[in-house]
Amino acid sequence: MNRQNSTPSRDLAMIAIFAGMIAALGLIPAFSGFGSSVPITAQSLGIMLAGAILGPKRGGLAVVVFLALVALGLPLLAGGRGGLGVFSGPSVGYLIGFPIAAFLIGALVYAVGAPYRLTWGIAINLIIGVALLNLIGIVGMMERLDISFSAATKVAWAFVPGDTAKAVLCAIVARGVHAAYPGLLPNRRSKQPLAESTSV
């Protein structure tokens, strides 16, 4: 699937597929850490994958579509949650951070370009999909639960080991997808040989 041959209908199909994938990951049972009202779910893996594979715009839009369906009342969040009420709960920071994380992961992955590099992919996922997303989630918990930054951080720490594993898994899957469909990523090095050859 070459980005140069991308069409609106194909882009919409990819956005819909990834929105569905994020929803499907919500079927994996969620659980809450000790003393936490924010569930630990597999859906953040889908957020990272959307950005790493689709890029900033399509990845971000896939997450926005998913959240729009949740807002309409579809029980797509882990644990069968849905409706506008979830956006006023302690998870609101993570929900707000989902499209931001997908967009930024996609922007950085596409800025690096082809071929997809596993080390870069893991680093990007850890910085955006783990560190930044949890930071936004911490701010949401502070606001909704009226707790201190220290208390909210202790809650978020419960997510870090699983999120780290998901960051690595995402990079491995993304590398496989980009190897199978090399046209998804722009080739940032393609212009360099041309520039060198014309300067001789």
Question: How confident is the model over 78-118, as pLDDT tens digits?
Answer: 888 999 999 999 999 999 999 999 999 999 999 999 999 99
95, part of any domain = yes
Residue 196 lies in a domain: no
| 195 assigned to some structural domain | no
Give the C-alpha separation, 25 to 63, whole Å.
13
CATH number at residue 100: 1.10.1760.20
Give the pLDDT band (50/70/90) at residue 41: confident
> Are 163 and 125 a contacting pair, CB within 8 Å?
no
Q: Residue 1 contacts by C-beta under 8 Å, 6 or more apart in sequence? A: 10, 181, 183, 184
Question: Is 144 among the domain residues?
Answer: yes
Cβ–Cβ < 8 Å for 167, 122? yes
Question: Would you state the pLDDT for residue 40?
Answer: 73
Domain contains 120: yes
Does a structural domain hold residue 200?
no
Q: What is the pTM assigned to this prediction?
A: 0.87
| Per-residue pLDDT band at 161 (split at 50, 70, 90) | very high
User: How much is the pLDDT for 58?
Assistant: 97
* CA dist., res. 99 & res. 158, Å (int): 22
Residue 96 maps to a domain: yes
| Tally of residues, the chain | 200
pLDDT for 27: 85
The predicted-structure confidence for 50-82, as pLDDT tens digits, reads as follows 999 999 999 999 999 999 999 999 999 988 899
Least confident of 44-48, 71-75, 76-80, 194-198: 194-198
Report the number of secondary-structure helices (H) and strands (E) in the chain.
Answer: 9, 2
Please report whether residue 198 resides in a domain.
no
User: Which residue range(s) make up the domain with 64?
Assistant: 3-187
Domains contained in the chain, number: 1
